[in-house]
């Protein structure tokens, strides 16, 4: 019914155009077109939509368009140009492939004129976009090039001039170079303007593809619900608190955002927080429960209140909140203001922008030139150091919880950036549940989505000028930290490196509600407003955890780590609950540094003590921010060393090594598209495929055993099929044909030519004393004996 309404609408509004459109786009596409026209607020947007519509009509080869894989419903082609040359990235020669360049409401897409080579590379195909597609929000920068020069395009209307070459840097680090000089001038101009407009100009949230996509796709929500804990109900929060044996108060008063639209729909606060405390300062200063340690102490986070000198009301409120936190366990609390000790979101952005440049490589010469100063460049951009600082801070918090058993309150302005990073890392280190795939997804839901990380502002998908400042890859920073942990303690994680890389890419696919909003309230109001159905039920959009939207089951097998050590299950009855229980015994390497036993603390005594000591102790913590940082750093060192000497338990506490060589570059994510660094026949996949092969053999043997069991006992019906592993996926093919960029780059580019570095000699600046050495003979004759 609604669809027909939509068609009527478009017919009445653009009656002259619709017949032409009909040729190209499907019924559902038209519906979406209406939506986009209706919702694009700026007149420019409307205008361009119309003019792009015209260009659709102008498109000569309709049949060619139909060959474009349009996996998503609700997609509309805005403009296109044929005979565009896409350069091959790997050399300076002007070679490339001709094809059609399109811009839709979802992506920039290049369709090669050459017949698609159906190779085995299709294994890891993303269902939403292909290797020549760039989702609009994935576009990072566009450069216009002519001859040798290239210029950053910052948006705005490009008048009559358009560059002959267009370079697109993507947020997933792909680099595309197109030559427009072979296309019709009119087409070239339009496609250039179209792409620039749709990728760089400010737009309304409603223009994002997710809305047209969701209206035309339905997802069975029930199935998803069963897997990842979404933390969108009282039950989810209650259960997580029970799991960790926490003893706090679940707040459901904000379920309709009555308290504040900025506060999460549901959250947990210390028991002693009263109802009126909840609404003061718009939730600022309110300690939000994150996780409880088995000892009873817990981690809380809060948005700090800017303390104004003359007004001591916030001060009193803050102290009250601290007391509430302290009451949670043994009257102890440690506060950590992350704004003081960690880089700001602007620092993070600046550093990342410098860092990513090392991987956005236009040509081979540039690559090998930058290779010379690779290590010092790494140091100078500071990205790895920021990762180290975050991990270090998390270890400090872990130490407080684990060794000192004190409650910890982390705070920062806003309370939803570095607080999210640190609190999630702490939980990953302490709680093995979060190292499972579903556990990790639940953690992201809990700390980031429900926790109110401003995904929309941080990614600035909308290119709003007033949000440029707030843009920052904070969530990516978190994934980087997780990757470091995973690198150091592989078997402790159920998910794979590939999973993390794909997750980092998915941030820029504007389809998933996970990354589109700033907080619960924001999401709720928008999805409700956009709902095509009744006022009551909000629009049903997929979350990023609906992996089947992007990948088929086989590809999803690559998300799991074949070397993951599953917790041996003692009792089969435990299996009934799909959420692993919180383990009281976290296999602590504790005996060495246990705090003195607190047996003597009876309840009344403790209460008395609290009254006497309370304020002093708190203020002491309050007043000692970073002055003792060298001391804490050495204490972290000791904490790590003490932990390191104990036997490793993958289901217990995990700590990262933070020394220089241990913090590495996430090779898979950053190097996968650079042709010259692809290790053909090598890389981690060589190891993975061998492990998978052995696993396959072990499973086969197990099956054989089961079969024998059947023949002998006959009452034992067929063995339960084992969970699939990457084995099936990779083992079939020889890893000799795969490269270090697996599974992201197909073997199509396979060549036996190795990448020979250019300009070697300049790299070696042997100066001074070494310079003299360089001139000497290999055989230290008698004269050279020192």
Partner 1 sequence: RSDRSAHAAKPTFAMSSDNVSISTDFSPELRVLRDSKEEPQLLPKESVQDMAKDVTYICPYIGALRGTLTVTNYRLFFKCMDREPAFVLDLPLGVVSRVEKIGGASSRGDVSYGLVCKDIRNLRFAHKQMEDSLRKSIFEILMKCAFPVSNGLTIFAFEYGQVYPENGWKVYDAQAEYKRQGLPNESWRITKVNDHYELCDTYPSTLVVPVNIPDEELKRVAAFRAKGRIPVLSWIHPESQATVIRCSQPMVGVNGKRSKDDEKYLQTIMDANAQSHKLFIFDARPSVNAAANKMKGGGYESEDAYQNAELVFLDIHNIHVMRESLRKLKEVVYPNIEESHWFSNLESTHWLEHIKLILAGALRIADKVESGKTSVVVHCSDGWDRTAQLTSLAMVMLDGHYRTIRGFQVLLEKEWLSFGHRFQLRIGHGDKNHTDADRSPVFLQFIDCVWQMTRQFPAAFEFNEYFLITILDHLYSCLFGTFMCNSEQQRVKEELPKKTVSLWAYINSQPEEFTNPLYVNYSNHVLFPVVSMRHLELWVGYYIRWNPRMRPQEPVHQRYKELLAKRAELQKRVEELQREVTNRSASSSSERAGSPTRSITPVQTFV
Q: Which of 695, 730, 731, 745 binds partner 1 (CB under 8 A)?
A: 695
What is the closest distance, in whole angstroms, from the C-beta atom of residue 553 to partner 1 in the complex? 14
Per CB under 8 A, contacts with partner 1 among 198-217 are none
What is the closest distance, in whole angstroms, from the C-beta atom of residue 300 to partner 1 in the complex? 29
What is the closest distance, in whole angstroms, from the C-beta atom of residue 678 to partner 1 in the complex? 7
Q: Which of 716, 732, 733, 748 binds partner 1 (CB under 8 A)?
A: 716
Q: What is the DSSP letter of 328?
A: T
Q: Which is nearer to partner 1, 296 or 684 (CB)?
A: 684
770 contributes a contact to partner 1 by CB under 8 A: yes
Q: Which residues of 331-362 are buried (b: 16+ CB within 10 A; e: fewer)?
A: bbbbbbbbbebbbebeebbbbbeebbebbbbb
Q: In whole angstroms, give the CA distance from residue 269 to residue 92.
A: 59
What is the closest distance, in whole angstroms, from the C-beta atom of residue 396 to partner 1 in the complex? 15
Q: Which is nearer to partner 1, 343 or 415 (CB)?
A: 343
742 contributes a contact to partner 1 by CB under 8 A: no
665 contributes a contact to partner 1 by CB under 8 A: yes
Q: Which of 60, 256, 316, 662 binds partner 1 (CB under 8 A)?
A: 662
Q: Which is nearer to partner 1, 222 or 769 (CB)?
A: 769
Q: Which of 223, 365, 634, 702 binds partner 1 (CB under 8 A)?
A: 702
Q: In whole angstroms, give the CA distance from residue 479 to residue 387.
A: 10
Q: Which of 599, 623, 713, 718 binds partner 1 (CB under 8 A)?
A: 713
Q: In whole angstroms, give the CA distance from residue 170 to residue 183.
A: 23
Q: Which is nearer to partner 1, 604 or 779 (CB)?
A: 779
Run of H or E residues at 5: helix 2-13
Token code pair at residue 328? 């949670």
Per CB under 8 A, contacts with partner 1 among 534-563 are 560-563
Q: In whole angstroms, give the CA distance from residue 624 to residue 335.
A: 9
Closest CA to 31 of 53, 7, 13, 47: 7
Token code pair at residue 216? 């035309």
What is the closest distance, in whole angstroms, from the C-beta atom of residue 360 to partner 1 in the complex? 14
Q: Which is nearer to partner 1, 116 or 771 (CB)?
A: 771
Segment near partner 1 (CB under 8 A); pick from 59-67, 231-239, 455-463, 706-714: 706-714
574 contributes a contact to partner 1 by CB under 8 A: no
699 contributes a contact to partner 1 by CB under 8 A: yes
Q: Which is nearer to partner 1, 290 or 492 (CB)?
A: 492
Q: Return the residue matching tokens 């209650």.
A: 238
Q: In whole angstroms, give the CA distance from residue 87 to residue 78.
A: 23
Decide: 517 and 526 in contact? Cβ < 8 Å.
yes
Helical spans, DSSP H, in 18-155: 18-24, 27-39, 43-58, 62-67
Q: Which is nearer to partner 1, 602 or 752 (CB)?
A: 752
Q: In whole angstroms, give the CA distance from residue 515 to residue 495.
A: 20
Closest CA to 503 of 411, 553, 441: 441
Segment near partner 1 (CB under 8 A); pick from 306-314, 564-572, 577-585, 591-599: 564-572
Q: Which is nearer to partner 1, 208 or 394 (CB)?
A: 394
Q: Return the bridge partners of 100, or none.
A: 111
Task: Spell out the residues 6+ positions from residue 65 whose beta carbon is closer than 8 angstroms to its own.
Answer: 24, 59, 77, 80, 100, 102
Q: Which of 23, 307, 313, 701 binds partner 1 (CB under 8 A)?
A: 701
What is the closest distance, in whole angstroms, from the C-beta atom of residue 785 to partner 1 in the complex? 6
Helix (H/G/I), strand (E/B), else coil: 232: coil
275 contributes a contact to partner 1 by CB under 8 A: no
Site size for partner 1, by CB under 8 A?
104
Q: Which residues of 727-764 are buried (b: 16+ CB within 10 A; e: fewer)?
A: bebbbeeebeebbbbbbbbbbeeeeeeebeeeeeeeee
What is the closest distance, in whole angstroms, from the C-beta atom of residue 559 to partner 1 in the complex? 11
Q: In whole angstroms, give the CA distance from residue 613 to residue 38.
A: 63
Q: Which of 177, 689, 741, 746 binds partner 1 (CB under 8 A)?
A: 689
Closest CA to 150 of 370, 463, 367, 362: 362
Residue 435 has, within 13 A of its CA and on its CB side, a CA count of 29
Q: Return the bridge partners of 291, or none.
A: 299
Taking residues 217 to 256 in sequence order and writing x for each that binds partner 1 by CB under 8 A, - otherwise, the string is ----------------------------------------
Q: Which is nearer to partner 1, 373 or 465 (CB)?
A: 373
Decide: 539 and 211 in contact? Cβ < 8 Å.
yes
Per CB under 8 A, contacts with partner 1 among 347-406 are 367-368, 371-376, 378-380, 384-385, 388
Q: Which of 528, 581, 706, 732 binds partner 1 (CB under 8 A)?
A: 706
Q: Which of 21, 671, 729, 745 binds partner 1 (CB under 8 A)?
A: 671
What is the closest distance, in whole angstroms, from the C-beta atom of residue 774 to partner 1 in the complex? 5
Q: In whole angstroms, give the CA distance from residue 96 to residue 110.
A: 12
Q: Which is nearer to partner 1, 251 or 384 (CB)?
A: 384
Per CB under 8 A, contacts with partner 1 among 615-654 are 640-641, 644, 646-648
Decide: 449 and 502 in contact? Cβ < 8 Å.
no
Q: Which is nearer to partner 1, 326 or 430 (CB)?
A: 430
680 contributes a contact to partner 1 by CB under 8 A: yes
Q: Which residues of 159-176 are buried (b: 16+ CB within 10 A; e: fewer)?
A: eeebbbbbbbbbbbbbbb
Closest CA to 750 of 114, 113, 125, 121: 121
Helix (H/G/I), strand (E/B), else coil: 242: helix
583 contributes a contact to partner 1 by CB under 8 A: no
Per CB under 8 A, contacts with partner 1 among 471-500 are 488, 490-491, 494
313 contributes a contact to partner 1 by CB under 8 A: no
Q: Which of 220, 661, 718, 721 binds partner 1 (CB under 8 A)?
A: 661
690 contributes a contact to partner 1 by CB under 8 A: yes
Q: Count other Cβ atoms within 10 Å, centred on residue 486.
A: 24
Segment near partner 1 (CB under 8 A); pick from 318-326, 408-416, 574-582, 704-712: 704-712
What is the closest distance, in whole angstroms, from the C-beta atom of residue 10 to partner 1 in the complex? 49
Segment near partner 1 (CB under 8 A); pick from 134-142, 340-348, 601-609, 747-755: 747-755
Decide: 653 and 587 in contact? Cβ < 8 Å.
yes
Plot region of 585 (φ>0 → left; ψ -120 to 50 → alpha; else → beta): beta
604 contributes a contact to partner 1 by CB under 8 A: no
What is the closest distance, in whole angstroms, from the C-beta atom of residue 547 to partner 1 in the complex? 16
Q: In whole angstroms, give the CA distance from residue 620 to residue 393.
A: 20
Q: Which is nearer to partner 1, 64 or 369 (CB)?
A: 369
Q: Which is nearer to partner 1, 49 or 692 (CB)?
A: 692
Q: Return the bridge partners of 99, or none.
A: 84, 112
Helix (H/G/I), strand (E/B), else coil: 179: strand
């Amino acid at each position: 019914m609604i669809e027909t309404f939509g068609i009527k609408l478009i017919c009445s509004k653009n009656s002259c155009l619709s017949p032409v459109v009909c040729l190209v786009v499907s019924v559902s596409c038209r519906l979406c077109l209406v939506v986009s026209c209706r919702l694009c607020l700026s007149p420019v947007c409307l205008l361009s939509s119309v003019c792009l519509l015209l260009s659709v009509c102008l498109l000569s080869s309709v049949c060619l368009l139909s060959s474009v894989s349009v996996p998503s419903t609700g997609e509309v082609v805005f403009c296109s140009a044929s005979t565009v040359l896409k350069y091959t990235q790997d050399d300076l020669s002007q070679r490339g492939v001709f094809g059609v360049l399109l811009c839709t409401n979802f992506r920039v897409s290049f369709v090669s004129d050459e017949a698609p080579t159906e190779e085995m590379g299709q294994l890891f195909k993303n269902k939403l976009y292909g290797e020549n597609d760039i989702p609009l929000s994935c576009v990072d920068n566009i450069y216009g090039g002519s001859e040798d020069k290239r210029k950053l395009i910052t948006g705005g209307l490009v008048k009559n001039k358009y560059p002959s070459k267009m370079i697109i840097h993507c947020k997933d680090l792909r680099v595309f170079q197109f030559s427009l000089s072979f296309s019709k001038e009119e087409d070239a101009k339009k496609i250039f303007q179209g792409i620039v407009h749709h990728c760089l100009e400010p737009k309304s949230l409603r223009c994002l593809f997710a809305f047209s996509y969701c209206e035309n796709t339905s997802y069975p929500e029930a199935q998803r619900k069963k897997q990842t804990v979404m933390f969108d109900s009282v039950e989810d929060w209650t259960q997580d608190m029970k799991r960790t044996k926490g003893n706090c108060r679940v707040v459901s008063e904000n379920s309709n955002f009555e308290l504040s639209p900025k506060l999460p729909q549901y959250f947990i606060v210390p028991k002693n927080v009263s109802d009126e405390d909840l609404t003061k300062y718009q939730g600022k200063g309110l300690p939000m429960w994150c996780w409880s340690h088995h000892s009873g102490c817990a981690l809380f986070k809060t948005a700090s209140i800017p303390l104004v000198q003359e007004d001591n009301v916030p001060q009193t409120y803050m102290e009250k909140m601290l007391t509430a936190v302290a009451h949670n366990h043994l009257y102890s609390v440690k506060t950590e203001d992350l704004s003081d000790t960690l880089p700001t979101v602007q620092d993070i952005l600046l550093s990342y922008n410098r860092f990513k440049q090392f991987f956005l490589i236009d040509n081979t010469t540039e690559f090998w030139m930058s290779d010379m100063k690779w290590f010092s460049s790494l140091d100078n951009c500071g990205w790895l150091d920021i990762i180290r600082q975050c991990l270090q801070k998390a270890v400090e918090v872990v130490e407080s919880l684990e060794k000192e058993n004190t409650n910890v309150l982390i705070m920062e302005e806003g309370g939803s950036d570095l607080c999210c990073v640190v609190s999630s890392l702490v939980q990953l280190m302490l709680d093995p549940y979060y190292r499972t795939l579903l556990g990790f997804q639940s953690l992201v839901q809990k700390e980031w989505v429900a926790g109110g990380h401003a995904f929309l502002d941080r990614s600035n998908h909308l290119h709003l000028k007033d949000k440029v400042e707030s843009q920052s890859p904070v969530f990516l920073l978190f994934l980087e930290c997780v990757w470091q942990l995973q690198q150091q303690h592989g078997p402790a994680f159920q998910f794979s490196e590939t999973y993390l890389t794909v997750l980092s890419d998915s941030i820029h696919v504007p389809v998933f509600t996970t990354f589109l909003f700033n907080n619960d309230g924001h999401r709720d109001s928008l999805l409700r407003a956009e709902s095509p159905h009744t006022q009551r039920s909000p629009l049903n959009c997929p979350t990023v955890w609906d992996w089947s939207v992007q990948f088929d089951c086989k590809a999803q097998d690559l998300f799991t780590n074949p070397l993951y050590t599953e917790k041996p299950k003692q009792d089969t009855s435990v299996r009934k609950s799909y959420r692993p229980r919180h383990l009281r015994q976290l296999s602590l390497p504790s005996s060495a540094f246990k705090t003195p036993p607190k047996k003597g603390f009876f309840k009344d005594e403790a209460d008395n003590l609290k009254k006497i000591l309370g304020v002093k102790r708190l203020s002491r913590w309050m007043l000692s921010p970073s002055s003792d940082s060298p001391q804490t750093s050495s204490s972290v060192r000791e904490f790590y060393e003490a932990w390191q000497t104990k036997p490793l338990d993958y289901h217990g506490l995990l700590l990262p090594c933070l020394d220089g060589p241990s913090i590495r570059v996430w090779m898979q994510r950053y190097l996968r598209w650079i042709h010259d660094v692809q290790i053909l026949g090598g890389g981690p996949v060589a190891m993975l495929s061998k492990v998978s092969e052995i696993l396959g053999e072990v499973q086969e043997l197990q099956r054989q055993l089961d079969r024998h069991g059947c023949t002998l006992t006959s009452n034992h019906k067929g063995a339960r099929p084992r969970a699939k592993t990457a084995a099936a996926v990779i083992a079939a093919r020889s890893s000799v044909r795969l490269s270090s960029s697996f599974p992201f780059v197909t073997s199509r580019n396979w060549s036996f030519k190795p990448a020979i570095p250019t300009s070697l000699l300049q790299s070696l600046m042997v100066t001074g004393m070494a310079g003299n050495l360089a001139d000497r003979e290999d055989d230290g004759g008698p004269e050279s004996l020192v």
